[in-house]
Structure 1
Amino acid sequence: MMGGDLLVPVDDSVTLRKTVAHVANRGRDAPGRPTLHFVYPLSERLDAGEETTAAADAEELLARIEVWVEEDLGDDADQVAVETALIGSAEYLFNPGDYADVITEYAAERGIETVVLDPEFNPQGMAPLLPPLERELSSAGLDVDLAPVERPTRRNPLTRPAGLGQFVVLFCSTYAFYLVVGGTLSTFDLATGAVSATIVAGLLWRITTRGEVDLTSLAWRLARMTLYVPFLLWEIVKANFHIAYVVLHPRLPIDPRVVEFDAAVWSEMPATTLANSITLTPGTLTVDVSQRHFTVHSLTRSAREDLLDGGLERAVRFVFYGRSAARIATPRERGARTGEERTSAEETAPTEEAAVTEGENA
């Protein structure tokens, strides 16, 4: 490989276009005919033959980058070769180390020594990915350059519109926290806690809250949460006994599998509650959550069956959406599949597709 080859991890960002232009100009000035490698690290794992919206968007972005490079080079386009690829699609990427591993592997296979990073590269929107990623790549022996492009100034509003509901919620949560930390319900603690909570709520109610708060709905959710907590604790106790039995069994009857399903929850808090509840229950671990799509590792068949029966999901829906939402179909009834079931389905896919085609023709 030529020493001028560059590797550029990309994701859609406000500075990506300028980063591509910088890399294109750098490639033009390099000796020989360097190759510019634009790679998109895909945070979600793809199974064989699977195509997701995220993968389709990544392919579209990479195609757009090729056009940008050609535009930037103009008549000099023949002096530079361009390659694009999705990387990391065979595994789940969670942290800077995971991203660094797939980028380093790609660079090693092609003899690339230099990585150019977009200053706004942050594929999962988590904070902040770039500095630790730079350290990981440098530790792997790669030369890491940050594209010298101008970043836009962020001027997000500090305060948001807020009503009485936000004030009451912040006051009550602050007051409760104060009393828990204080450890007593003396008159002094009750009085100072009320004063402190009023001050905190008055200063922060337009900053820390988002969206309107329906106090009646919130009260019902809290009431239903008091029923959910003992239910979750009971599920954890049962799972602990089951895992203890598996560990102590002479044949260690484990059957680790990954199961994927779209949960019937529709906002951040319910999805987070369900993901954490699954992880807290021994035998299951939430590996990845992308909006409503859950990827869960199950240690035993029994744990997997319980997950697909939807007990936890139904309980979470009850907390956040009420009794009627608890009657929605379970993940199994909605078509969730385990690893072995996906393999079987892939083998029969042509036959099923033919059957659909025949039905349409009929």
Structure 2
Amino acid sequence: MTDGDAEPTEDPEPAQDAEPAGDVVVPVEESSTLRNTVGYVVRQAVESGDPSTLHFVYPLSSRGTVGDEHDRAMDLLERVELWVEEDREESGALVSVETAVVGADEYLFSPGDYTDAIAGYAERKGVDRVVLDPEYRPTGTTPLLPALEREIRGTGLDVEEAPVERETRRGRLARRSGVGQFLLLFGLSAGFYLFLSGWSLKPYTIVTGAVSAGAVAATLWHVSFTGAVEPRRLTAQFGRLSLYAVFLLWEIAKANLQIAYVVLHPSLPIDPKVVEFDADVWSTVPAATLANSITLTPGTLTVDVQRRHFTIHSLTAGAREDLLDGKLERAVRFVFYGRSAARRPTPNEREEVEE
């Protein structure tokens, strides 16, 4: 598989000719730094200016090509493809992506087992470089990275730990931040101040707004953003967010009319039920946006969210059908992950809804 839009495949068997030096193998597992690791290898490939193939592999710790772990692997690899598509932007012709599940024919336990699976794939693909996510822990909470690095290096492959920021282990509130975070927070604060003042451009308003925004930015720039500010991506997300706001207002207006009809109908045709499903969103802000959007839409209420697992109370069958048809979920994915993510299956299509 050589295209970011293709489906993840099982570990391919045929041997391949040696590929360009920019090619890299990246073992993946759910972690707090995986998204940044993907961004790092894509950025390296784009900056090299040479055609490159990024190989993302998921070593299965359990044997076989069916089961919960295999399903999680396929889901994660699909997400990685979407991240690559988002990051590579107009350089897509130079940077291609392949994904695969490896080690499905044996049980993986020790660092040597994982090394054999990763190195075997790299050999078949003619790749001599491996980049490791700094929080890569395929066996759970047990640290595996130092031993895995030694084992991989012993096979003759170049191995590198992605230089991305890890979450602090000591609960430290502040972190290193750049000028981009400060300027973004300053701009948002100043814009909000001008909005509250009725967009007045009098000298007094401009000066007090700048002072207030500077104080807010200086106080909060170390704790307000989780990553580096990328103006191009941020601008695109704000543009999509503007479209989403209009869409959400329209959905709220339609739902209000539907609920008004139910309330005014003599027979009060309600059908209250609680439904549960795993939303196809992958980080805190998109999940919170979806949860609040569901609650803002009359007829549905977000009762609980555990990571991706949503518990929703629906007042009518129509409100429940609209929810599970996935319009809100797809719109949220469009805002945070781009147009290609909006085409992913809805809760009904995924057939994972429980009442």
Could you say which structure has the higher helix fraction? 1
Q: TM-score, normalised by structure 2?
A: 0.50
Q: TM-score, normalised by structure 1?
A: 0.49
Which of these two proteins has the greater Rg computed from alpha carbons? Answer: 1
